[in-house]
Chain A
Amino acid sequence: MREIVIVGAGQGGLQAAMCLRQDGFAGRITLIGAEAGLPYQRPPLSKAYLKSGDAGALQLRPASFFEKKDITLITGTRVDSIDRAARSLRAGGRDLRYDHLILATGTRNLRPPIPGADLALDLRTLEDAARLRAALDRPRRCAVIGGGFIGLEFAAVARALGHEVTLAEAAPRLMARAVSAETSARFLGLHEGMGTRVHLGDPVREVFPGGIRLASGTRIEAEVVLMAAGVTPNTELAAAAGLAVDNGVVVDGRLLTADPAISALGDCAVFPDPVSGRPVRLESVQAATDHARLISRRLLGMADDRYDAVPWFWSDQADSKLQIAGLATAGDETVTRGDGAIFRFNAGRLSAVETVNDARTHMQSRKRLAGAPVLRRHLEAAGFDLAAV
């Protein structure tokens, strides 16, 4: 294997390039990104960056790194097509051949088909975040469409900066896809306590110049409207090349597509959950970087393992750090421990643990979930002390 091309220069794509070099790959590595500039971290865009505006702190590696590691970084370039038979792709008017191709194309913001959606701002890229920050240069009324991590992180920062915030969520509770009803309720209290008005179960029907209108008819006046209604994976390139796509680029337990010369990682990849076997797509730094490590080891013949890393997620909202270890499914049972830690169970087996400002329990959970199944009855007998089971 002499040439590896990575499409997508986010944290996962970059990690793949770094791992390949670290693991001893001596051939050519080309990393192609659609955005201009060096690869950067996205998680702080809705947290520290909104406050500080310090773009330099987001950079993952300096320009000199790519030279030193002999990684060819092509930025501001979209890949037009993949020719699987020729093992080459077309990008920026030229053809690049590959022995192995890694798709790390990530996601883009979902824009619900409602009138005026284009009037809303996004918070996905550094460019989006800079625009949003510039819009908050004086006291504003902000309307946030979507009560997921991004919308809530933005709401917390905007309130702390003194802006008025109203948030509308289509689902009956906050972060409904990611956390238990108990955690949703806790964070609803946090945000309402900060003075954010929250409308639940009330989808947005229209964005108009000067605000939004909800299904209930409620009109929310706002100078700044943020669209934070989730994301959609960038799968067009894979689909056009005839690869299977189903809510993401479909890969097997080793993160390989049906084409043995193409892997996919991170936010754009749908892989079998190591516990349940059901296809999952995770939007997290952890999955992107752990995927990258596994693919690198496989390509260099160091290992051929199935992916089985424990997922973890975090969200900083005001002074509350929400940490999630594991992956729960809708309908998993919930037990709240005396100190507020939330344990989720699927068929009597621990699936996830949600904590707030409790790094100890979070890290214990990550360790325990990586081992043999943790059974509910054992945890109950141990008073939900993870160290005792």
Chain B
Amino acid sequence: MVKVTYVAADGTRTEVDAPPGSNVMQTALDNDVDGIVGECGGAMMCATCHCYVDEDWSDATGARRDGEDDMLDCAADEVRPNSRLSCQIRLTEGLDGLVVHLPEEQV
């Protein structure tokens, strides 16, 4: 399993275990983590699963994927260099321990 920690805008930390192959958005929804909406189900049609990758993990999660920049342009909250669509971060064993921060607004 891959451990993922979600840090809400108010600082609340939620730690969950996810099967490799899932993604950061789906894992949040499956575990009742508030702060991620994931309206389009990972089809890259919205920006409601916006997250900020913790700086210790930005190398491991890699660069934004094709089209992600364009979707993030429509994110409800501030877009920063470490902004990602969490549906596009696929969980691998190498991401065990991943920490992502959630914005205040998704819609």
Contacts and interface: CB of A to CB of B under 8 A. Distances in A.
Contacts of B67: 359-360
A361 B103 CA distance: 25
Contacts of A68: 32
B73 A316 contact: no
Contacts, number: 49
B48 to A, nearest CB: 9
Interface in B1-60: 26, 29-32, 39-41, 43-45
A60 B28 CA distance: 11
B74 interface: yes
A124 interface: no
Given A61-B29, A62-B30, A314-B43, A366 B71 contact: no
Contact of B71 (A61, A62, A363): A363
B63 interface: no
B30 A367 contact: no
A59 B31 CA distance: 12
A125 B66 CA distance: 31
A247 B41 CA distance: 28
Contact of A285 (B40, B44, B71): B40
A44 B45 contact: no
A359 B44 contact: yes
Contacts of A43: 40-41, 43
A44 B41 contact: yes
A312 B71 CA distance: 13
Contact of A366 (B31, B40, B66, B74): B74
Given A43-B43, A312-B45, A316-B43, A363 B32 contact: no
Given A64-B32, A68-B32, A323 B26 contact: no
Given A57-B26, A61-B29, A64-B32, A363 B41 contact: no
A321 B73 CA distance: 19
Interface in A46-72: 57-62, 64-65, 68
Given A41-B41, A314-B45, A316-B43, A359 B30 contact: no
A363 B73 contact: yes
A289 interface: yes
A314 B73 CA distance: 18
B41 A293 contact: no
Interface of A: 41, 43-44, 57-62, 64-65, 68, 285-286, 289, 293, 312, 314, 316, 321, 323, 359-360, 362-363, 366-367
